[in-house]
Amino acid sequence: MPVYNLKINGSSQTVEADQDTPLLWVLRDQLDLVGTKFGCGIGQCGACTIHLDGSATRSCLLKVSMVQDMNITTIEGISEDASHPVQQAWKEIDVPQCGYCQAGQIMSATAFLNQNSNPSTSDIRDAMSGNICRCASYNRIERAVALAASKMD
């Protein structure tokens, strides 16, 4: 079985996997990074969002063979102690209900705010529309992204 060297959350990891294995399952099953969630497997719900060289990417569609030498960041990697401004905003607003989609939401929000530090409401709604929250905690997600933007100024 092929061996891949991955750069995840700033450290190198060597994994053995079939070349078509989605990064999502390498993270979850092999590396015990279970914060990245499985939701749909077809890139429609955003629960599996990670950062690939800083861009929000759906890890369920990303083959492990394609991400060598790229910087992979998961929810576990954005801070050690929930101190990232987006996490702080999520905390302040008390966003989650069931909580399952929230890591993906936070990863989408983080990548988005890195590109647009002063977003309008409609920018936020567009940027976050790729992430489904089945509990519909959308009002709070919207408020938390706006709050995080102000914290990141």
The footprint of other proteins (CB under 8 A) covers 1, 17-18, 20-22, 25, 28-30, 32-42, 44-45, 47, 74-76, 79, 81-82, 87, 90-91, 94, 96-103, 106, 124-126, 128-142
Indicate the residue among 55 and 121 with the shorter CB distance to other proteins.
Answer: 121
Closest alpha carbon to 58 in 46, 75, 69: 46
Cβ-based nearer residue to other proteins, 30 or 114 = 30
Q: Which is nearer to other proteins, 6 or 124 (CB)?
A: 124
CA–CA gap between residue 130 and residue 43 (Å, rounded): 9
Query: How big is the CA angle at 147 (ends 76 and 119), to the nearest 5 degrees?
Result: 100
Pairing of strands 3-8, 55-58: unpaired
Q: By C-beta, is 69 or 81 nearer to other proteins?
A: 81
Closest distance of CB 6 from other proteins, Å? 15
Minimum CB–partner distance for residue 5 and other proteins (Å): 19
Q: Is 127 helix (H, G, I), strand (E, B) or coil?
A: helix
Exposure of 129 by Cβ count < 10 A (0-12 exposed, 13-18 middle, 19+ buried)? exposed
Q: Residue 80: phi, psi to the nearest 5?
A: -85, -20
Q: Closest distance between other proteins and the C-beta of residue 70, in Å? A: 20
- Find the shortest distance in angstroms from Cβ 7 to other proteins: 18
CB of 146 closer than 8 Å to CB of 120 = no
Q: Which is nearer to other proteins, 70 or 130 (CB)?
A: 130
User: Which residue has 């987006």 as its token pair?
Assistant: 86
CB 89, min distance to other proteins, A: 10
